[in-house]
Amino acid sequence: MLRATLLAVAAYPLAGCDLFESEPEPAASPDPLAPLLAETLDLAARHEAAIAAYPELADRLTPVLEAHRQHATDLAKLTGAAPPSAASSTPAAAAPAGDAKATLAALRAAEQQGQKTAADACLAAPAERAALLGSISAARATHLEVVR
């Protein structure tokens, strides 16, 4: 009798703690910087496409392309996303429409939007993320001069 009582008492906590009836954990929400990472990859792809279409712009645009790739790597590390590889860091972008001047104008518009997005993300971010986001915003502001 004592043995049966001990077994019942020992089994009671297991039955009452939902050990066998637990509900699945809710899916993790995406990192708030995921859109900024996607936009960074898009900017890199646009610069890559512009360089491919207009090789004479390579000297101007390659440093900006490399900066976007580095920012994508840094953002991936910060958010825990898979880091983009050198070969696949940029999704394929459509060839730019128009001539080199029109391409630069399109890049400038994209950089302006990207700079605003990065600045907004910086203002909304916790302190441990703000330094990187501020740096990205500042870099994009300088990119506006390159694509002028």
Q: Would you state the pLDDT for residue 8?
A: 53
Contact 99, 53 (CB under 8 A): no
Alpha carbons 38 and 6: distance in angstroms, whole number:
59
Question: Over the stretch 58-77, which tens digit does the pLDDT of each residue have?
Answer: 999 999 999 999 999 999 99
pTM of this structure? 0.77
Span 112-138, average pLDDT: 96
Identity at 78, one-letter amino acid code: L
Hey, where are the domains in the chain? 32-146
Contact 140, 118 (CB under 8 A): yes
- The length of the chain in residues reads 148
List the structure tokens of 138.
């500042």
Architecture of domain 32-146: Up-down Bundle (1.20)
Contact 51, 93 (CB under 8 A): no
**Angular region, 122: left φ>0, alpha ψ -120 to 50, beta rest:** alpha
Question: Over the stretch 8-33, which tens digit does the pLDDT of each residue have?
Answer: 555 555 554 555 556 666 667 889 99
